[in-house]
Structure 1
């Protein structure tokens, strides 16, 4: 029997600093997120970061928390429920960090008799700290607890025509009644070393402005290339003029080199460039979360206005958009049919 496991990033159980601390510990101690040797990772995370950051992060979560709970969790649940109406394949929802855990999601599918699982990491672009860590943990859990199961994973869909179409249409719908001078595509940042570590050729990725434009097998796992491709294809779909849009990377942590340009610096500089009404879309996320609602929707908006901007419009993520739900349902049915005919 076939089943589907949707997997998103995760969220604290509440805005209590203790829950936030527990969540950040699981997140930052992941060797594919904070990819330092264990002793150094533990010293930095548990010896420094977790002594200061949980309180500040808890305050940020409080600003965007819904009555129903974490926006990321609530929106992911709505997405799953929506897809369930378009396909007969049983599904479950899990988070890489926090609850519901991947193990519980797999157990829920097993309890329904599922033995063939389609893993759907809810990230359009591949990255060590997102898709890879999900697939690695899922395989570890399969070997330890679910040896009877077989896994298939959906590939990164950053340039899939269906995804480009629904993302582009959602942007167009949101902005058609709003005035804007520039559209900024803000993606979650990663350390530059992650790009090089993901380079299967071990020589292509130089992050020099040209390697992402030069065809290479490395692009299959190159987060930077895939982000720029999403921007390019959406811009082409929408017919955006050169200079009316750009790409940046947000959420930097630590002092190591991260992908540039940085979203916060980019936004702060825009008013002096004549951009007074800015629209921001965040295509690294399919569900709104603290990075979109608080970091962009509150912090970035305040900073933009403080630097002379007038309006900052945050385009909602796809969330439970009906067209997006239908696309996922179709992908699932296509997988099930292909497996059946194999």
Structure 2
């Protein structure tokens, strides 16, 4: 009888290796070449990507990364490593971290797990809400790596955990901690990463998964539509994305009498460029410039103990 050995693969999006133009260009090229992210026909997309987007965006994005870079490296990678270490200390099995784009790669992580004799693989994409552009890309990446293997483990793929009680409990605790520190604001804003509206129209249930998280959290906190709202950030390109847009919302709120806000990003398991620079930096400036008086960003769950508790529960549920 084959001896079963479980192992865990944590997966996040990825990050440049350094806050430099060449490193950012390499990362963006890999990321924006994925058809799950940009599904424009290649004959049309390649000239735009290589001739305009990469040369123009890479230096600009490198400066943004430099503004949030930590002594240990990119925030997303730093916090993801801490999550891996914390989870590995709690479960009696190998735990590896892989990124869909950049380093450490999915292949590096899977090679390590297979070398340790793993026969039952639990894949935990660190995206609380499913989207074809994130979670499905993890599936594609793992399939591509396994195409070169002669023997495969059984695979248990965690699609998402948008409404998991332990996840909602961790979010609730983070909000309550912020309220205790800064006072309860006029409005709590939950800002999720956006996707093109077209993706949702074609069947991606990401918007529903975001609202499932938001409604569960709102109920847990005892909030209503008067003091909590959901928005979508980080749109790219010219086609319509999910609305309401976070930046436009921040610009309009002071004119509606909302002078204090606290903003969280429940779609991000780790703080990163989109939370630290876009939300805590750019959107804070937009809100205050429009007449707001108080803006506080509620950090991602990162390696918080309750977040790790949730990961342990998810892994144990799939053993």
The yes-or-no answer on 1:127 pairing with 2:131 is yes
TM-superposition CA deviations, 1:123-173 (whole Å, max 9, x none): 011111100011111112112236322221112110111211111111111
Mapped to 1, the partners of 2:13 and 2:241 lie a distance apart of 20
The yes-or-no answer on 1:190 pairing with 2:226 is no
The yes-or-no answer on 1:226 pairing with 2:212 is no
What pairs up with 1:42-191 in 2 under 5 angstroms?
Answer: 42-145=46-149, 147-179=151-183, 180-191=185-196
Judging changes above 3 Å, is the alpha-carbon distance between structure 1 residues 335 and 298 closer, same or farther for their aligned structure 2 residues? same
Is the 1:142–1:149 contact (alpha carbons within 8 Å) kept by the matching residues of 2? no
Runs of 4 or more consecutive aligned structure 1 residues displaced over 3 Å after TM superposition? none
Is the 1:96–1:134 contact (alpha carbons within 8 Å) kept by the matching residues of 2? yes
Aligned to 2:44: 40
TM-score, scaled relative to structure 1? 0.90
Mapped to 1, the partners of 2:310 and 2:242 lie a distance apart of 30
**Aligned partner of residue 15 in structure 1, secondary structure:** coil
Give 5+ residue unaligned stretches, structure 2.
none
TM-superposition CA deviations, 1:49-76 (whole Å, max 9, x none): 0010001100100110001000000000
Aligned to 1:30: 34
Mapped to 1, the partners of 2:164 and 2:278 lie a distance apart of 28
Mapped to 2, the partners of 1:121 and 1:8 lie a distance apart of 6
Is the 1:249–1:259 contact (alpha carbons within 8 Å) kept by the matching residues of 2? yes
**Aligned partner of residue 145 in structure 1, secondary structure:** coil
**Aligned partner of residue 171 in structure 1, secondary structure:** helix
**Aligned partner of residue 159 in structure 2, secondary structure:** coil
TM-superposition CA deviations, 1:254-278 (whole Å, max 9, x none): 0011111110000011111111111
**Aligned partner of residue 8 in structure 1, secondary structure:** strand
Mapped to 2, the partners of 1:298 and 1:116 lie a distance apart of 42
Is the 2:12–2:98 contact (alpha carbons within 8 Å) kept by the matching residues of 1? yes
Residue from 226, 239, 256 that aligns with 2:222? 239
Mapped to 1, the partners of 2:12 and 2:265 lie a distance apart of 15
Mapped to 2, the partners of 1:167 and 1:177 lie a distance apart of 16
Q: What's the Cα RMSD here?
A: 1.1
Mapped to 2, the partners of 1:99 and 1:294 lie a distance apart of 21
**Aligned partner of residue 126 in structure 1, secondary structure:** coil
The yes-or-no answer on 1:299 pairing with 2:282 is yes
Mapped to 2, the partners of 1:285 and 1:167 lie a distance apart of 11
